[in-house]
Amino acid sequence: MAIPAGSKAPHFSLKSKKGDAMSDVRLDDYLGKTNVVLLFFPFAFTGVCTAEMCDVTAGLGGFEALDAKVIGISVDSPFAQEAWAKKENIGITLASDLNKETAFAYGTLLENLGGFGSASARAAFVIDKAGVIQYAEQTPTPKDLPNFEAVKTKLAELK
């Protein structure tokens, strides 16, 4: 079960890859500067996850206008995430939770997803500039998408 709104957001430092560069994605880098939307998703190269990240990429300007940085997190390696992002033209930052510690910290780790082992549930969190979770949603099943209108409404309230 996802940690609830009102909780202090667990800090994380995850890897992301674009081109020849491997970089660290840290929650601490955004605190005090911008709100953060964390989108946990099970696996790259799957239908629902691809549709979700492509839709978010298409609407990225709307999140930026609401003073938010969007980060997608899955248990895939940064190399797989980069290949997927290139193939599908995904423009948001993708961060690898290969060791599954961040999904566990946010309460979204599913122990055995479809026989593939542990993976993240699909979930959305809005974290304010102070590092407090203002919105938390774990979808009933990995096939369901988060309520993006509720995410945007919460971001508008924080602006």
The pLDDT assigned to 117 comes to: 77
The pLDDT assigned to 11 comes to: 97
The string of pLDDT tens digits covering residues 27-61 is: 999 999 999 999 999 999 999 999 999 999 999 99
The string of pLDDT tens digits covering residues 81-98 is: 999 999 999 999 999 999
Residue 130's pLDDT band, with cuts at 50, 70 and 90, is very high
Q: What positions carry a catalytic annotation?
A: 49
Q: What is the 3-state secondary structure (H, E, C) of the chain?
A: CCCCCCCECCCCEEEEEECCEEEEEEHHHCCCCCEEEEEECCCCCCHHHHHHHHHHHHCHHHHHHCCEEEEEEECCCHHHHHHHHHHHCCCCEEEECCCCHHHHHCCCEECCCCCCCCEECCEEEEECCCCEEEEEEECCCCCCCCCHHHHHHHHHHHC
